[in-house]
Amino acid sequence: MLFGLVFCTVIALLKGLALGSLAISDSQLLGDVLDASDNFNDESVVKAFVDELVALSHSSKNISACDQCVTRLAVGKSLALLRPELVPRVFTKWCQITKYMTNSTCVSTFARNTVKSSYTGTNFADMLSLMDPFGYDGQLYCCYKESACSKPKTPNVTLSHMWPAKQAKHSVAPVPSANDTFNVLHLSDFHIELDYTVGAEANCSASMCCTPHSSNTFANITSHPQQAWNSFYDSSYMNDTFVKGSSVDAFKNGSIWSPATTFGNYKCDAPEVLINSSMNSIAQYSSDNNIDFEFAIFTGDMVDHDEFSLTSYKMTVESEELVFRDIKNKLGDVPVYAVMGNHDNFPYGELAQENHGFLNYFSYNAELMADLWEDYGWLGPKESQYARKHYTGFSVETTMGLKVISLNSNVWYKKNHYAYWNSTQPDTFGQFEFLIDELVASEKIDQRVWIIAHIPFSSDALPLPAKMFAEVVARFSPYTIANIFFGHTHLDQFEILYSGPGNDAKTIENVVASSWISQAVTPWVNNNPSWRYYTVDKETFSVMNAYNFYTKLNETFANNGAEPVWELEYSSREGYNITWPETAPLNATYWHTVASKVNESVEYNQMYENYAMRFSPYVPNCANSTSCDLNYCFLTSFTVDQYDDCVASVKSKK
Ligand SMILES: *[C@@H]1O[C@H](CO)[C@@H](O)[C@H](O)[C@H]1NC(C)=O
Ligand SMILES: *[C@@H]1O[C@H](CO)[C@@H](O)[C@H](O)[C@H]1NC(C)=O
Ligand SMILES: *[C@@H]1O[C@H](CO)[C@@H](O)[C@H](O)[C@H]1NC(C)=O
Ligand SMILES: *[C@@H]1O[C@H](CO)[C@@H](O)[C@H](O)[C@H]1NC(C)=O
Ligand SMILES: *[C@@H]1O[C@H](CO)[C@@H](O)[C@H](O)[C@H]1NC(C)=O
Ligand SMILES: *[C@@H]1O[C@H](CO)[C@@H](O)[C@H](O)[C@H]1NC(C)=O
Ligand SMILES: *[C@@H]1O[C@H](CO)[C@@H](O)[C@H](O)[C@H]1NC(C)=O
Ligand SMILES: *[C@@H]1O[C@H](CO)[C@@H](O)[C@H](O)[C@H]1NC(C)=O
Ligand SMILES: *[C@@H]1O[C@H](CO)[C@@H](O)[C@H](O)[C@H]1NC(C)=O
Ligand SMILES: *[C@@H]1O[C@H](CO)[C@@H](O)[C@H](O)[C@H]1NC(C)=O
Ligand SMILES: *[C@@H]1O[C@H](CO)[C@@H](O)[C@H](O)[C@H]1NC(C)=O
Ligand SMILES: *[C@@H]1O[C@H](CO)[C@@H](O)[C@H](O)[C@H]1NC(C)=O
């Protein structure tokens, strides 16, 4: 009975399409149903749906990839509504038979969720059950998750009914006291590689390097380049002091091209000893220079980039616990306000709305974090309770009166399945309501606010939330929002929001806000490990300067396993050689000036690129390559649509 119902739905859906009929006729479909209905069971339902999807893929009619994708979602939805638990089997099988993706991607994308591997088929089925395949949801999914459709036009919606009108005084930032600052540490993207193995392949052909399962499939044993490297000390660690481990004969295995050294490699995530070295360098700098940090912000990503099949629930939780423990060990009483990154969840990248039936999938993480942050003294009981329950965001007021709002960016992450239903609605997660309520309350009492999140809005975000965020930021800047901080890209970057009356031209008059995007501790991929701290005006919480520190990772390859040397790379006020009043903060206008120079001169573009990657050996040459061509677009776009439009205009000029 159920089976017949499913198939009626399938047929009805297919008939409803303006695609013409498919290669297989209704009678064929019904024939399948009749055959199967003799012996109705899960196998026959799975088979019928797989056959249906395969037929769609193999249709001799000219159905575009986009229409195929959307139709698949419709077929999937009809199954998800009745037998959601069969969706993963059906889609995995279809994907494998048609070789729509590589086998491992078919499995990680569509196979049912397990605790051992980061597979998302169950989340896919949840999404199907709620989405509108033939509307914006389907187009958006088929664009961002399957690259089968072009980008649909971003809905023209607004959140402006949620706030009072902006008054004239809200268009001007309070003036810094300029003679009294305090220090804030900014950490990001540790990506601890738990199975980092000294001597393993550091130049691997696929997947994650420096692990027991990495290999260089192109390497020719006899043409193995002899490296002058000697830093192969296994089980090295650093608690109070550095303890060098035992020496590994790394060149013994001739099939390894570049053996992984003690402190990390440019194609690998961070071994714990590198993380501890970075934290140690912070503690050391702080005590040597008598510089105290009032608090620290951490903008996410503790779990590494290993294959999804090897990313387990246990490893996710262990990575989160270890990284926060290592931070706590070195920072002592300095409170850390944190956000979770796209890697800091299991399965990877997912996050469900609180009130649509899937809450229990992800509450483990919010509860773990709330407990840990409270135990470490980073959050009080009230904030911790809030973070435990409302995991898309929480706020905390620092002892000096600044409000820090922490947002979970998986809400707008393009890989999160739960972002693909009701996607024309601006706020299915309730995150904007939370953010706006906090901002309205702060504005009323003239309190300044910092917003911290992992993923910046111009890349890897979905277009609508990006547009909504820009609207909120334009409304509450520069009076209330003092600064915005992201991580995620692993690059030292910034982004400017332009919003003028009637136009968003990239002029100095239209500058309203900017964000800081932090460099990473993980070297992955091709960067030197790095961290920064800000000097912040005590009265306005505007940033007066940023000091960026790094270690030249390549110098640890041949130093016989000695500790990395961390040093000041540059400061944001002096590093760009721009004339800027000493008493003025490094605000959006400052960054507009820098961005304009990046646009005008190759020298400035190169300077920016060097800083972005911390002078690693892999920094491209901007003068003779196209690698730096889109930098200006990145720096001057705050939303996905702005970035895409900018890139299109650069490309059309070529
Ligand atoms: C199939 O569709 C594409 C794009 O719509 C078109 O360019 C092509 O000519 C069509 N091919 C056939 C055989 O109809
Ligand atoms: C596909 O990948 C899965 C998971 O990695 C594996 O178990 C299975 O053997 C693979 N199948 C084929 C045909 O390679
Ligand atoms: C968006 O909607 C607003 C108000 O509904 C309208 O004034 C505006 O013209 C629309 N913009 C576009 C690009 O459609
Ligand atoms: C500078 O600091 C002193 C003492 O902290 C304070 O009295 C003075 O008002 C400050 N100056 C400005 C311009 O805020
Ligand atoms: C990495 O290995 C490839 C061969 O697979 C080789 O061409 C390349 O030069 C190697 N890169 C480094 C940095 O050793
Ligand atoms: C490996 O290196 C040897 C010696 O340089 C060469 O003769 C052989 O062709 C190489 N094999 C491959 C697969 O590159
Ligand atoms: C020191 O670090 C090692 C490796 O990270 C760890 O196993 C050990 O428990 C630490 N010891 C102390 C006293 O913290
Ligand atoms: C979300 O989608 C569901 C199912 O399509 C619909 O019933 C509901 O009204 C939508 N909610 C909002 C807030 O639009
Ligand atoms: C810095 O700017 C000054 C004045 O514009 C200029 O003379 C100088 O050459 C610049 N220095 C660098 C390193 O670009
Ligand atoms: C940034 O600071 C400068 C100097 O105080 C000021 O002129 C400018 O308006 C500020 N920009 C913004 C966006 O607040
Ligand atoms: C490390 O890389 C930098 C940038 O390419 C280079 O200048 C430096 O000489 C390298 N150091 C070593 C020891 O290879
Ligand atoms: C670009 O310039 C660098 C440094 O001058 C040089 O090493 C490199 O080979 C050049 N690359 C190209 C593609 O010309």
Distance CA 275, CA 550 (A): 12
Whether ligand 5 lies within 6 angstroms of the CB of 311 is answered as no
Round to whole Å and give the CA distance between 524 and 617.
13
pLDDT at 279 over 70: yes
Percent of the chain with pLDDT over 90: 85
- Closest Cα to atom 14 of ligand 6: 220
| 2 has pLDDT over 80 | no
Segment 86-109 mean pLDDT: 98
Query: Does 526 contact ligand 2 (Cβ within 6 A)?
Result: no
CA separation for the pair 371, 377 (Å, rounded): 10
Ligand 5 center–CA 203 separation, angstroms: 6
Q: What pLDDT digit, counting tens, does each position of 498-513 carry?
A: 998 888 999 999 999 9
Q: By the 8 A CB rule, do 166 and 172 touch? A: no
User: What is the per-residue pLDDT for 490?
Assistant: 98
Average pLDDT over residues 109-121: 98
Q: Whose CA is nearest to atom 1 of ligand 5?
A: 203
User: Is residue 589 within 6 Å of ligand 10 at its C-beta?
Assistant: yes
| Residue 560, ligand 6, Cβ within 6 A | no
Task: Give the Å distance between the CA of 213 and the centre of ligand 6.
Answer: 24
In short, whether 173's Cβ falls inside 6 Å of ligand 10 is yes
**pLDDT at residue 39, rounded to an integer:** 54
**Nearest Cα residue to atom 1 of ligand 6:** 220
Per-residue pLDDT tens digits for 565-575: 999 999 999 99
pLDDT for 21 beyond 60: no
Separation of alpha carbons 642 and 632, rounded Å: 12
Q: Which range among 268-277, 330-339, 384-393, 424-433 shows the weakest confidence by mean pLDDT?
A: 384-393
Residues 229-235, mean pLDDT to the nearest whole number: 96
- Hey, whose CA ends up nearest to atom 2 of ligand 11? 617
Residue nearest to ligand 12 atom 12, measured at CA? 624
* Cα 157 to ligand 3 centre (Å): 8
CB neighbour burial string for 419-445, b if at least 16 within 10 angstroms, e if fewer: bbbbbbebbbbebbebbbebbeebbee
**Ligand 5 pocket residue status of 131, Cβ below 6 Å:** no
Are the CB atoms for 329 and 232 separated by under 8 Å?
A: no
CA distance 217 to 198: 19
Residue 20 has pLDDT above 50, yes or no: no
Quick check: 455 pLDDT over 80? yes
Residue 412 phi/psi, 5-degree rounding, is -110, 10
Contact of 268 with 523, CB cutoff 8 Å: yes
Residue 478 in contact with ligand 10 by CB distance below 6 A: yes
Pocket of ligand 12 (CB under 6 A): 621, 624-625
Q: Is the pLDDT of residue 390 over 90?
A: no
| pLDDT at position 60 | 77
Flag whether pLDDT at 622 surpasses 60. Answer: yes
- Sign of the Cα torsion 532, 184, 291, 547 reads positive
Pocket test for ligand 10, best of 497, 587, 591, 594 (most atoms within 8 A of CB): 587
What spacing in Å lies between the alpha carbon of 627 and ligand 5's midpoint?
A: 20
Task: Give residue 26's pLDDT.
Answer: 40
Q: Ligand 8: which of 73, 130, 422, 427 to mutate, judged by most atoms within 8 Å of the beta carbon?
A: 422
- Tell me, in angstroms, the distance from the centre of ligand 4 to residue 444's CA: 25
What value does the mean pLDDT of the chain take?
A: 92
Nearest ligand to the CA of 617 is 11
**CA pair distance 452, 396, nearest whole angstrom:** 11
Lowest mean pLDDT among 20-34, 187-201, 205-219, 585-599: 20-34
pLDDT attached to residue 223: 57
Strand order in the sheet with 511-517: 393-397, 403-407, 449-452, 481-486, 511-517, 493-498
Asked if pLDDT for residue 283 goes beyond 60, the answer is: yes
Question: Measured in whole angstroms, how far is the alpha carbon of residue 386 from the centre of its chain?
Answer: 23
Domains assigned to the chain: 2-144 (no CATH), 179-191+269-652 (3.60.21.10)
User: What is the model's pLDDT at position 140?
Assistant: 98
Cα of first residue to Cα of last residue in the chain, in angstroms, is 60
For ligand 5, atom 5, which residue shows the shortest CA distance? 218
Interval between CA 60 and ligand 5 midpoint (Å): 43
Residues 180-199: pLDDT tens digits? Answer: 999 999 999 999 999 999 99
Strand pairing category for 237-238 and 233-234:
unpaired
Residue keyed to tokens 């040397």: 565
Task: Write down the pLDDT at residue 324.
Answer: 98
pLDDT of 225 = 66
Q: Is the CB of 223 under 6 A from ligand 6?
A: yes
Q: According to the model, what pLDDT value does residue 653 have?
A: 87
For residues 127 and 80, give the distance between their C-alpha atoms in angstroms, rounded to a whole number: 9
Could you give the CA distance from residue 479 to residue 107 in angstroms, rounded to a whole number?
49
Cα 526 to ligand 8 centroid, rounded to whole Å = 44
Cα 598 to ligand 11 centre (Å): 25
Q: How confident is the model at residue 5 (pLDDT cuts 50, 70, 90)?
A: very low
- Model confidence at 445: pLDDT above 70: yes
Residue 224's pLDDT band, with cuts at 50, 70 and 90, is: low
Q: What mean pLDDT do residues 397-413 have?
A: 97
- pLDDT score recorded for residue 654: 76
Per residue in 368-378, is it b (16+ CB within 10 Å) or e — as a string?
A: ebbebbbebeb
CB of 62 within 6 A of ligand 1: the answer is yes
Q: What was the pLDDT predicted at 100? A: 97
Q: Write b or e for each residue in 22-48: b if 16 or more Cβ atoms lie within 10 A of its Cβ, otherwise e.
A: bebeeeebeebbeebeeeeeeebbbbb
Q: Which ligand is nearest to the CA of 118?
A: 2
- What is the pLDDT, as a whole number, of residue 459? 85
Residue 40 has pLDDT above 80, yes or no: no
Share of the chain above pLDDT 70, in %: 92
Higher per-residue pLDDT: 26 or 51:
51
User: Which of 238, 239, 274, 280 for mutating ligand 7's site (highest number of atoms within 8 Å of CB)?
Assistant: 239
Q: Does residue 453 surpass a pLDDT of 60?
A: yes
For range 213-217, the mean pLDDT: 89
Our answer on whether the CB atom of 355 is closer than 6 Å to any ligand 8 atom is no
